[in-house]
Amino acid sequence: MKVIVCKDYQEVSEKSAEIVAQVMKDKPNAVLGLATGSTPEGMYAKLVEMNRKGEIDFSDITTVNLDEYFPISPDNDQSYRYFMNKNLFDRVNIDKSRTNVPNGAANDGEAEAARYEAFVRSLGGADIQVLGIGRNGHIAFNEPDVELVPVTHVTGLTPDTIDANARFFASADEVPTHALTMGMGTILSAKKIIILANGKGKHNAVMKMLKGTVTTMCPASFLNLHDDVTLVVDEECYNG
């Protein structure tokens, strides 16, 4: 795994945006695999800025997001669809019909998971997948466990993740208990992967991943099975 150590969050955002922008320049109809959470917000702001300056063009881009709460309405301001519209899709020249987030409002979660998996595979996987990492080593909603599901699936959220996400809701009781998420196999089908991390809270998870071995107890460690992964990390997170 390649590691880019940045001096601060701003630099993490700039470096990761540059990597995504390069993929878009090389392939104007690229498939971008995108992530939500606080970590990539600065990267999205940078991509919006680059689009406004005419440096990058989203008109032929397709996007696939990693995950979505389940059940949740896309209009709910805590849904990941809402997050993506607000942080990126509504602010760049993208064709919204080519932006894809698992449908949190589907009647049948398992059927939606199967549809989404088939759709991502039909695209041949993402040209680049952007990832965050949970403080427990999760990737998307693939939580540490004795077994992991390789494909897109419905999953329960761990108490740690509910607790970490409670900051976005009025109370922990309001955090949805389930989610639709790509599996590690779906994620590893991307041609190129960048994983972003900042702050001390992610230090232990990042170190476990960088050890180079693979364990289901740290889903991020599965990225060691892929030969084009770049960690973009700030000094605070890297040094602990």
* Minimum CB–partner distance for residue 27 and ligand PGA (Å): 26
* Minimum CB–partner distance for residue 37 and ligand PGA (Å): 3
Contact, 58 vs 27, CB < 8 A? no
> What are the CA-CA distances from residue 111 to residues 105, 141, 154, 187 (Å)?
12, 18, 10, 19
**Cβ atoms within 10 Å of 146's Cβ, excluding its own:** 6
Return the residues of window 39-68 that contact ligand PGA according to CB under 6 A. 39
Nearer to ligand PGA by Cβ, of 57 and 235: the residue is 235
Neighbouring-strand partners of residue 154 = 180
Nearer to ligand PGA by Cβ, of 96 and 139: the residue is 139
Which residue in 166, 134, 140 sits closest to 153, CA to CA?
A: 140
* Count of residues interacting with ligand PGA (CB under 6 A): 6
What gap in Å lies between CA 163 and CA 105, rounded to an integer?
A: 23
- For the question of residue 143 being annotated catalytic, the response is yes
* Minimum CB–partner distance for residue 165 and ligand PGA (Å): 8
- For the question of residue 138 being annotated catalytic, the response is yes
Residue 102 lies near ligand PGA (rule: CB under 6 A): no
- The two tokens of residue 93 are 């020249």
**For ligand PGA, which residue has the nearest CB?**
37
231: Cβ contacts below 8 Å, ≥ 6 apart:
1, 2, 3, 4, 194, 195, 197, 206, 209, 210
- Backbone φ and ψ of 208, nearest 5°: -60, -40
Catalytic residue among 65, 87, 100, 136: 136
- Amino acid, res. 127: D
> What are the CA-CA distances from residue 153 to residues 29, 30, 32, 56, 119 (Å)?
27, 25, 20, 33, 13
Nearer to ligand PGA by Cβ, of 57 and 160: the residue is 160
- For the question of residue 136 being annotated catalytic, the response is yes
Return the residues of window 14-43 that contact ligand PGA according to CB under 6 A. 37-39
Catalytic residue among 51, 67, 112, 142: 67
* Minimum CB–partner distance for residue 65 and ligand PGA (Å): 12
Catalytic residue among 138, 153, 165, 198: 138
* Minimum CB–partner distance for residue 70 and ligand PGA (Å): 16
Catalytic residue among 143, 153, 234, 236: 143
Return the residues of window 121-160 that contact ligand PGA according to CB under 6 A. 132-134
Nearer to ligand PGA by Cβ, of 133 and 190: the residue is 133
What gap in Å lies between CA 112 and CA 145, rounded to an integer?
A: 23
Nearer to ligand PGA by Cβ, of 132 and 144: the residue is 132
What gap in Å lies between CA 233 and CA 240, rounded to an integer?
A: 11
Name the residues annotated as catalytic: 67, 136, 138, 143
Contact residues for ligand PGA (CB under 6 A)?
37-39, 132-134
